[in-house]
Amino acid sequence: MRTHYETLGLKPGASLDEIKGAYRALARQEHPDVSSRGDAADRFRAIQEAYEVLADERRRTAYDAILKAREGGDKEKRRQEKERQEAEELRRRAEERMRDAVGPDRADPEEVRRLTGLLNAGRFNDAEALAQQMLMRQSRQPVPYAVLGDLCRMRGELPKALEMYGYAAQFEPSNSVYQRKYEEVMAALNDPAEYRPMSTATPDLNLQPLIFAGLVAGIGLALLFLVGGAPGGTPPFAWSPGAVLGLAVTGLAAGSGLSLSGAISRFRAVNGSAVFKVPPVTLLGLVSIVFFWAAVALYFLVGTRQQAFNRSLSLLLGVCGVATVVLALAGWTKGGDVALSILLLGGNVTFLGATIAWAVCDGLRPTPGRASQDPR
């Protein structure tokens, strides 16, 4: 569909004099009383409409905003198509290597144990370096590819994770775990709602679940005030029934709202691994049950030192942290002991509720069909 600028033969940013000049010339040329073209009346109406919009400063400003938004949407579609093509190319390359495979290289058991130990100890940079060294010596070892796949998946680099899991499944076809992880990542790449790369600054959001989550979180805040009961114990255990309910409701609202709106990846796209004994999301959840702020510190420390940040986990931890601080400030009306207790241990309840809601909502959302391609 042509824009008003194109109708008048102008470029965006044309001056008012240029708009008037183009309109006069085209109006004389395309007027139904002058032109013999069959569509002269339609063309003249289009010229007239374009002039009325562009000659009015207020209407032109609004129209330019619409064009800019449309252009941004087109760029986002092109970016998504490019990422889809890159993922398809990676899959094709992986399958080509699979067809050429003759079997795995014999790995050094001690080196494999060291590699998996580094990974599960959180020394991701060392594990990545060792895996690459092992593959440089012998390129058909499945375990190093599986480790690299886990690291790429943890960082949200799903196209690269797909390639690594494909190689692992190729070189050890009897290992059903590698095959299953390959299929999980393929499904995530085929569903844009599952895959939120770190480079996506403003994903397409469904705002209705976020608005609903905000309302429910408001109910959680209200519960903190309305539900009676005296706080029990001393900090950090000076809880009131309203504080516990408010934290739980707020956490559930945060997790479900972020998941259903598409602001974070699907739970299974993040919490999955072939070699990790305990996936990162599960580990953070276990630590947060004991002390939420320790989980935040652990995530930040490991993420900074090992380049292991994940967009969805960062957003979920941030939202839960902010919600905990807000509820602690609100809890000050119940007393300083309640506020301090919420600040110290409230995140335990909020993050646990958010993680449970994230997993449950993911399970309720429709799942696209599994990829028909088999990496073996």
pLDDT at site 60: 87
pLDDT at site 367: 54
Q: pLDDT grade, residue 83 (50/70/90)?
A: confident
Q: pLDDT, tens digit, for every residue of 165-221?
A: 888 888 888 888 888 888 888 877 776 554 454 444 444 455 555 565 566 666 666
To the question of pTM greater than 0.85 for the whole model, the response is no
Please determine, for residue 316, whether its predicted confidence score (pLDDT) is greater than 60. Answer: yes
What percent of the chain lies above the pLDDT cut of 90?
A: 5
SS (H, E, C) the chain: CCCHHHHCCCCCCCCHHHHHHHHHHHHHHHCCCCCCCCCHHHHHHHHHHHHHHHCCHHHHHHHHHHHHHHHHHHHHHHHHHHHHHHHHHHHHHHHHHHHHCCCCCCCCHHHHHHHHHHHHCCCHHHHHHHHHHHHHHCCCCHHHHHHHHHHHHHCCCHHHHHHHHHHHHHHCCCCHHHHHHHHHHHHHHHCCCCCCCCCCCCCCCCHHHHHHHHHHHHHHHHHHHHCCCCCECCCCCCECHHHHHHHHHHHHHHHHHHHHHCCCCCHHHHCCCCCCCCCHHHHHHHHHHHCHHHHHHHHHHHHHHHCCCCHHHHHHHHHHHHHHHHHHHHHHHHCHHHHHHHHHHHHHHHHHHHHHHHHHHHHHCCCCCCCCCCCC
What percent of the chain lies above the pLDDT cut of 70?
A: 75
Q: Are 342 and 328 in contact (CB under 8 A)?
A: yes
Cα–Cα distance measured from residue 195 to residue 75, given in angstroms and rounded to the nearest whole number: 18
Tokens of 348: 């335990």
Domains of the chain are: 4-55 (1.10.287.110), 81-190 (1.25.40.10), 207-364 (no CATH)
Q: pLDDT, tens digit, for every residue of 334-361?
A: 778 878 888 898 889 989 988 898 888 8
Say whether the peptide bond before residue 236 is cis (omega within 30 degrees of 0): yes
Please determine, for residue 279, whether its predicted confidence score (pLDDT) is greater than 60. Answer: yes
